[in-house]
Amino acid sequence: MKAVPSAEVVLLVEDDDGARRLITRLLERAGYAVLAVDGGEEALLALERHEKPIHLLLTDLALKGISGVEVARRVGEKRPGMKVLCMSGYTGDEARIRGDLGAEVPFLGKPFTAPVLLESVRHTLDPGGR
């Protein structure tokens, strides 16, 4: 696995407490700085409050309130250079993001293993990644 630049920040949006804690731990152990929030509204607040660059939005699609798709759409408006990786355990959500956000937005199906998560994050962040 490639080394992680220490400055890379991931905004994680996951409304399941256990999953959010686990994903945060995995990302931090891999060297990422993580801003972890439990919903779309909190994600948008984090975008406004965090003045330094955020390199990746890692969002679940099925959130209470503002959906992950809507969060991703707003990220594109507020921070056009920020990469997006969507995740979901629901079948059909991959097709939904393809229609709503476009085929270039990567999708990570749940459940996933730690290596798959870290590989997907790295691939999305690397130049030439989606």
Residue 1's pLDDT is what?
Answer: 41
Classify residue 2: in a domain, yes or no: no
Burial of 81 (0-12, 13-18, 19+ CB in 10 A): exposed
The model's confidence at residue 97, banded by pLDDT at 50, 70 and 90, is: low
Give tens-digit pLDDT for 56-93.
999 998 888 898 889 999 988 999 889 999 998 876 66
- Coil vs helix vs strand at 66: coil
Classify residue 73: in a domain, yes or no.
yes
Spatial strand order of the sheet with 56-60 comes to 33-37, 9-13, 56-60, 83-88, 107-109
> What is the pLDDT confidence band of residue 125, given thresholds at 50, 70 and 90?
very high
Q: Compute CA 68 distance to the chain's CA centroid, rounded to the nearest angstrom.
A: 9
Provide the residue range defining the domain that includes 72. Answer: 9-125
Q: Residue 78: which CATH number?
A: 3.40.50.2300
Q: pTM higher than 0.85, yes or no?
A: yes
